[in-house]
Amino acid sequence: MRALPGIVGVAFAVLVTACTSTSTTPAPGPSAPSSGKIQHIVILMQENRSFDNIFAGFPGANTTMQGKCAPAPWCKGSHIIKLHSVDLATGSPNTGTDICHSHACFVTECDPTAQNVCQMAGFDLIRKGQSGQGPPAKTYPYAYVKRSQTKAYWDLAKQYTLADEMFDTETASSFIAHQEVIAGSVELNSDESETDQPDTQPWGCDAYPGTTVPVLKKNKHYGIEDYNGPFPCFKYATIADLMDSKTVSWLYYIDKAFGKNSDFSGCCWNGYRAIHKIFYGPDWKSNMSLPNTSIFADVSGGTLPAVSWVIPTLYDSDHPASGCDGGPWWITKVVNAIGTSKYWNNTAIVLLWDDWGGWYDNAPPTWLTYTRLGFRVPMIVISPYAKPRNISHTHYDYGSILKLIEETFNLGSLGTTDATANSMQDAFDFTQTPNKFTTAPVPHAMKCAREVTNPGGASQVIEHDGGPPG
């Protein structure tokens, strides 16, 4: 029997409803066009948090405060572990406590039945470290970030639309996620797909000779991993092809990969770095906006493109490996800049986290193919036309974001997961009185939030985490 999307098959799931919020679960049908009311889409990509890790206990959302565990010395009796709180900065700068979130660890945490239904009962069996090279994680992944430190995210979720059925399209870490959000697929051929991340950095067409990306080979149990995969420079189509063909402006805001004022994010979280046509074509010079803070000048100067991706520095990313807490600080600054500008009236901001980071989540994903779906991640839709105080229970994946871009700008379809994913139009009401923007207080952050990862810091992160944080 196949698990239904987002329907929790465990008795301990907590479902509470707030009287001040609404929720949407639309019936299948044609999407409602924005009729030109949305002219700008800004995608804010944060790092490595499951839905429950950020929003456990959020009123009206599918969350839980406890999780199933596999029998072990630390998991006895009822085999239920209560979620504990953790700081957003898990450790000190460059030495944060990361947990495994490779494809292999996904399978362990999923704990699939013979019918490929995730039992979500193996989160205590993984190890710490990006690829699981550290000590056993035991009960550590069963955690939520202290609510005082995620207040900025909760405030946005309370004001606009929070999606509690957003699933990562694939079953691995950041390299794959940053491909999904521009291409909708990491399929290499009918029998193989990319997974995990390249074995050295940078992650892209300028990788060192001999660099490879692991692949999954088709198999009824979430694939077989093969580490002798291709060089990380791919020729599949991306949403940039559709935008370029219709002259829809776009920019990818990110820091430099090398040299002075470069950041770890530039070499590893730029999805277009691994796309041959982009990296070796004119878009690489014209559409990569360096540093990521250039978005502030574009917003204030009236040159914001139709579609933007905004990639944080490592320290502002929420990534556990960074040991910094700059994420809410960074997101608040970007959202405030757009919200107080002339662009607010016609912009949709999509805030999401690229993968689950190994953290516990209670909602089992549906098994669609040997590579997907992955675990649930948080997503908030922020716009004057986002349904206010709303929780969307519609089943989304990264193809839904591509579909939103395609529908808004009449681009046609890439024909990947965008063609099968649910539309995000139900998160909007284009007939409502537009939401007025209220400037949010900028949260306190550690000093590292104002910095980039210098080469020494990046090396320290990689050495401590057992590889580049994905």
> pLDDT tens digits, the chain, 470 residues: what are they?
233 333 233 332 333 333 345 676 543 334 456 778 999 999 999 999 999 999 999 999 999 999 999 999 999 999 999 999 999 999 999 999 999 999 999 999 999 998 889 999 999 999 998 878 899 999 999 999 999 999 999 999 999 999 999 999 999 989 999 999 999 999 999 999 999 999 999 999 999 999 999 999 998 777 888 888 999 999 999 999 999 999 999 999 999 999 999 999 999 999 999 999 999 999 999 999 999 999 999 999 999 999 999 999 999 999 999 999 999 999 999 999 999 999 999 999 999 999 999 999 999 999 988 898 999 999 999 999 999 999 999 999 999 999 999 999 999 999 999 999 999 999 999 999 999 999 999 999 999 998 998 888 888 888 887 778 88
Within 13 Å and on the Cβ side, how many CA atoms surround 98? 34
Q: Which residues contact 253 (CB under 8 A, 6 or more apart)?
A: 289, 291, 292, 294, 295, 308, 309, 310, 311
- On whether residue 118 sits in a domain, the answer given is yes
| Strand ranges of the sheet holding 288-289, from the earlier edge strand across to the other edge | 22-24, 390-392, 161-163, 379-382, 347-353, 40-46, 307-310, 250-253, 288-289
CATH code of the domain covering residue 262: 3.40.720.10
- On whether residue 29 sits in a domain, the answer given is no
End-to-end CA distance of the chain: 33
The dihedral formed by the CA atoms of 71, 77, 83 and 86, expressed in degrees to the nearest 10:
-70
Handedness of CA 264, 414, 302, 32 (dihedral sign): negative
User: Strand, coil or helix: what is 127?
Assistant: strand
- On whether residue 6 sits in a domain, the answer given is no
pLDDT (0 to 100) of residue 88: 98
pTM of the model: 0.93
Q: CA–CA separation, 246 vs 432, rounded Å? A: 29
- On whether residue 3 sits in a domain, the answer given is no
Say how many domains are in the chain.
Answer: 1
409 lies in which domain range? 40-465
- On whether residue 35 sits in a domain, the answer given is no
Handedness of CA 280, 283, 285, 290 (dihedral sign): negative
The string of DSSP letters for 342-402 reads TTGGGEEEEEEESS-TT-----PPP--BTTB---B--EEEESTTBPTTEEE---B-HHHHH
- On whether residue 15 sits in a domain, the answer given is no
- On whether residue 1 sits in a domain, the answer given is no
Which residue(s) pair with 43 in the sheet?
309, 350
User: Would you state the structure tokens that stand for residue 345, as one six-digit string?
Assistant: 């009236």
What single DSSP character describes residue 72? B
User: Would you state the structure tokens that stand for residue 354, as one six-digit string?
Assistant: 């690229």
What single DSSP character describes residue 123? G
pLDDT (0 to 100) of residue 456: 83
- On whether residue 284 sits in a domain, the answer given is yes
Q: CA–CA separation, 224 vs 134, rounded Å? A: 23
pLDDT (0 to 100) of residue 4: 31
pLDDT (0 to 100) of residue 25: 52
